[in-house]
Structure 1
């Protein structure tokens, strides 16, 4: 929320009961759910935390399936500093995919859980 300017759309809610277990196939599931509004959009991001989690390997940039979340940011350097300050990690390096006169900066970072984030900053 602090790094990307998201706001709470629906406060933290605990989801449990037969309907949730039936829907996701996990018996006795209990999930903490929060909805965050994405700046400048009607879309939202739902974050889920399950009471019991299964181990997983660290996501790789080039593996099949869900890959990453991408955010347009006004200052890519400052956003990287904030991600690191919140426990994230560098994945790549800031790269200019545009030109010297019309830069388009991009980088892949990792959030504190190791998920991949793409940051983009355009010249305009």
Structure 2
């Protein structure tokens, strides 16, 4: 078994996909696809669901991939906090945490925390929490 993909629900899927491509080096995996019909509602348990689905390759180009979905009817929810139960964040390993943080800020993201060392003396690991433009948490790690 392997992880196939991670999905983010977006308010503006095309804009969020552009952010991940610009700031973090993701790339389109396929053309944006609209999913609708009774089969979609049955599959996800939300009758009448209509979804715009965008698949992005992660920077290393392998699996898993990132799926960004936008539902036609989106009631809106507050952004998750670092201690919110459920899926917490996407973590990206980077060779230069400061440069990656600057790219995220330049592309419309924001900074959540401060760079800190979460590793050990033998295996340091600098980490920083950021947010994408829709408030989703991104962890940057530099070993």
Offset at residue 97 of structure 1 (A): 3.1
Write 1 or 2 for the structure with the bigger share of strand. Answer: 1
* Structure 1: distance between partners of 2:52 and 2:27: 17
- What are the Cα deviations for residues 48-77 of structure 1, in whole angstroms up to 9, with x where unaligned? 011110221221101211111100112111
Higher deviation after alignment, 13-22 or 27-36? 27-36
SS at match of 2:68: strand
Q: In angstroms, what is the RMSD of aligned CA positions?
A: 1.8
SS at match of 1:67: coil
2:64 paired with 1:43: yes
Higher deviation after alignment, 54-63 or 105-114? 54-63
Query: Which has more radius of gyration?
Result: 1
Write 1 or 2 for the structure with the bigger share of helix. Answer: 2
Query: Unaligned stretches of 5+ in structure 2?
Result: 1-20
Q: Where does residue 105 of structure 1 map in the other structure?
A: 126
Q: Evaluate the alpha carbon distance shift between residue 29 and residue 98 of structure 1 in structure 2; reply closer, same or farther with a 3 A threshold.
A: closer
Normalised to the residue count of structure 1, the TM-score between the two structures is 0.88
* Structure 1: distance between partners of 2:52 and 2:119: 41
Offset at residue 98 of structure 1 (A): 4.2
Query: Unaligned stretches of 5+ in structure 1?
Result: none
Normalised to the residue count of structure 2, the TM-score between the two structures is 0.77
Offset at residue 93 of structure 1 (A): 0.3
Paired residue total: 122
* Structure 2: distance between partners of 1:98 and 1:24: 39
* Structure 1: distance between partners of 2:136 and 2:100: 16
* Structure 1: distance between partners of 2:120 and 2:48: 54
Residue of 80, 84, 93 corresponding to 2:105: 84
- What are the Cα deviations for residues 84-123 of structure 1, in whole angstroms up to 9, with x where unaligned? 112211110011334689642101111100011100011x
